[in-house]
Amino acid sequence: SRFDFDLLALRDPGSLGDNTKPNVNVSYIVEQWNKNWEYPKLRVSIYSEYFKRFEEKYGTYLKTFKGAWPDYWISNSGSAAFETGVNRITHNNKIIAERICTLLKILNSDFKYPGKKIEDIYNKIIIEDRSGWANDVSVLEPDNYKTKGEIAENFSNVYRAAISAGEIIKEVHQDLVDNAANGVDFKQKRYPDRTHNIVVTNILNWKRSDIAEVLIPKRLLGESKKIRIFDPINDKELRSQIKIICPEDNYRERITDFEKVVFFAEDVPAFGLKNFEVIFDDKGSGGNSFGISDNAIENQFYTVRFDPRTGMIENLEDKDSGRDLINHSSKYQFNQLIYENPEEKRDLSWTNPLVKEGKVTISEDIIYLNPIFKEEFGQSYSYPGRDSKIKRISPENQEIIGIRNGEIFSELFTRSSIDCLFPDIISHFILDNCSKRIFLRNFISKVEKMDAEAVYFAFPFNIEKPVFKLNCHNGYFEPEKQQLPGSNRNWYCSQKWVDIYNKETALTWSSIEAPLVEIGDINTSKWLDKLEIDRADLFSYIMNNYWFTAAAAGQGGRNWFNYCFTTKSSTFDPVSSYRFGHSFHYPIIAEFLEDPGKNSGNQLAGLGEYGFIGDIPENIIINGFKKSEKDNSIIIRFLEVKGLSTKFKFNFKVKKIIGAYETTPVEDEIKKAKIENGQIMISIDPYELKTYKLVF
């Protein structure tokens, strides 16, 4: 192909490889070249300098292309599946912690905002978005001290960030409750027998009715395990149940002095708290029966039937539409685990001839990372290749091990294995009896192998002529149709949701721990130039170790993968999809207050609800909310998600905004924002992300 400009960047990494330190010999080569030749002249430069000069000289000649650019490197998130999942959860918890701390700072100017701690979490999770990062011989020499040390250091960052984010939430949530309810008189309590409370917090910017999970001391529940939870606003008794502690749950959860109670918390204010009242008596909900019945679970929204012979789902009916949601023409069953191995073993011997006695022996006519090099050693760059024969196996011994019907959940458990490689595979199917959605929790115990491998879960949905929309960073796109040429079509990274729809129906699917998805079929070895979307099969690409360097050679241990999906008899609606995905990733936070009237610090008893912000349009998401990194002001970011020009007024109910500035993402002031009676006048363009600095 032609390059029509006389300003060319030649990449020189300093030695054979990437991520290498500078090599002074490059400067000597440039010096000698410029002495010998008048044209072209060479100059040692960094890329930012090159692009700045190129823009100045040729910027007006450049064409503009618009579209998504899914990349191939994201597959490395599957090389450390457990740590990738932990890091994704920490991303969510960091935002929860940041928002609670920011609300506290607005309420109480003396609150010491943990900026350094949050910054440390942020730095760690950004670095570890590729958690399996390792050195150049990590696959060739997996037991090399440097390999093990670098992987251990990265994993340590993942866990330290996760612990820190959890600690902040635990430390500051009670403070938020105390400050929000400051001055409440406990004598306001209307029902003296309701001596305990549960306070829930919603950090999203719309009113939510959602399932809350809270720890209740076993000594209060007693042997009957009966609890009653009331909404003090309308005195309505809410649905609740004791949550099952599953065999695959952590040991600490199984031996604790607390029971997990789930209940349906209704109408929790946007950016707000709501108080619920608790009593313990024999009339309350408890730990309903658990056993095997009709190989099915059912509620007012869905019926899920299982084949008693195989333990696999044979029918998943949406009761509103009468549609079976499973594509029975697919070669894979619903939630089927698929383990694959290329029959052709990965050949890493090509790395040995390149270096002999510490010196590079590669011939001079091969330039690193040029097409010649890739052709010579293409197996490692495109592995497994298009012509590879792939062996795939799945469990053949799945069986139903339990069914439970409760007030909140209808649940079914299955168990299976694959020889010694996967000694235990447990799937937990959960119908939400309060809202139209299905949760699915897959647990796998895997033995580490160094052979090239990959693992998937299949979700063959039944939607004719499907269109996919994929949530990416601060937006969404349609795979294939809205992609740039040459971008990746084999696998995609989803953030909070994937939508599959046609003119009559829509399905929204979300994954917590595993971000990678493949569309239509398992496409890993196809290296597609074009993605044909003719069926609604979706695959969660949870593990792989296909990359030949700088990644973990293998992985094993205990892993959890959480999914959720819902359906509706209408077409794609980005507001609905955003709210569904965010609600799954940012659950309501609940805290039990034992007899708060005896403790002056717990002052929310008798208070119904407390909202911090006024109403905002449904197509606006508060995308960021934190203390400024430059001063004591507050930074808030608004994202428009429906493609509409929108104007609205924004205010805080708790304190009056006295100053506001539109800023860049890095908090540099652009212009002063208009304020009327403590309300900011916001104007935002379609799909725009806008940042403001607020002064109280």
Q: pLDDT confidence of 246, banded at 50, 70, 90?
A: low
**Cβ-contact 175, 104 below 8 angstroms:** yes
Phi-psi sector, 628: left (phi>0), alpha (psi -120 to 50), beta:
beta
DSSP-H helix ranges across 568-658: 574-585
Mean pLDDT of 441-446: 97
For residue 439, give the DSSP letter.
E
- Cross-strand bridge partners of residue 279: 228
Mean pLDDT of 35-51: 94
For the ranges 165-169, 373-377, 667-671, the lowest mean pLDDT is seen at 373-377
Q: Which two tokens stand for residue 450?
A: 């160094």
pLDDT at 695 over 50: yes
Q: Which two tokens stand for residue 507?
A: 């399905």
Q: Note the pTM of the prediction, 2 decimals.
A: 0.92
For residues 465 and 482, what is the distance between their CA atoms, to the nearest angstrom? Answer: 17
Mean pLDDT of 116-137: 91
For residues 181 and 185, what is the distance between their CA atoms, to the nearest angstrom? Answer: 9
pLDDT at 384 over 80: yes
Q: How many residues does the chain have?
A: 696
- Position 361 scores a pLDDT of 54
- Position 603 scores a pLDDT of 46
- Position 565 scores a pLDDT of 99
**Cβ-contact 334, 576 below 8 angstroms:** no
Residues with Cβ < 8 Å from 143, sequence gap 6 or more? none
Residue 30 has φ and ψ, to the nearest 5°, of -65, -45
For residues 44 and 50, what is the distance between their CA atoms, to the nearest angstrom? Answer: 10
pLDDT at 186 over 50: no
**Cβ-contact 166, 589 below 8 angstroms:** no
Q: Determine the residue type at 3.
A: F
Q: pLDDT confidence of 607, banded at 50, 70, 90?
A: low
- Position 443 scores a pLDDT of 96
- Position 207 scores a pLDDT of 96
Crossing angle of helices 145-180/115-127, nearest 10°? 140
Crossing angle of helices 81-107/145-180, nearest 10°? 30
Mean pLDDT of 134-153: 90
- Position 116 scores a pLDDT of 96
For the ranges 235-239, 279-283, 383-387, 447-451, the lowest mean pLDDT is seen at 279-283
Q: Determine the residue type at 243.
A: K
- Position 366 scores a pLDDT of 47
Paired sense of beta strands 679-684 and 646-650, if any: antiparallel
Closest CA to 341 of 312, 378, 377, 384: 384
Q: pLDDT confidence of 602, banded at 50, 70, 90?
A: very low
pLDDT at 614 over 60: yes
Mean pLDDT of 538-550: 94
Paired sense of beta strands 536-544 and 498-501, if any: unpaired
Mean pLDDT of 346-353: 65
Place of tokens 């993968």: 561
pLDDT at 380 over 60: yes
Mean pLDDT of 494-498: 98
Q: pLDDT confidence of 69, banded at 50, 70, 90?
A: very high
| 3-state percent helix, strand, coil for the chain, nearest multiple of 5 | 20, 35, 45
pLDDT at 595 over 90: no
Q: What is the tens place of the pLDDT at every residue in 666-682?
A: 999 999 999 998 899 99
- Position 181 scores a pLDDT of 60
Question: In order of start, what are the domains of the chain with their CATH numbers?
Answer: 1-64 (no CATH), 73-180 (no CATH), 186-287+587-610 (2.60.40.1180), 291-344+387-585 (2.70.98.30), 349-381 (no CATH), 613-695 (2.60.40.2220)
Burial 114-140 (b: 16+ CB within 10 A, else e): beeebeebbebbeebbbbbbbbbbbbb
pLDDT at 399 over 90: yes
Mean pLDDT of 418-425: 95
For residues 102 and 104, what is the distance between their CA atoms, to the nearest angstrom? Answer: 5
Crossing angle of helices 81-107/115-127, nearest 10°? 160
Q: pLDDT confidence of 367, banded at 50, 70, 90?
A: very low
What is the pLDDT of the chain when averaged over all its residues?
Answer: 89
370 or 165, higher pLDDT = 165
- Position 149 scores a pLDDT of 94
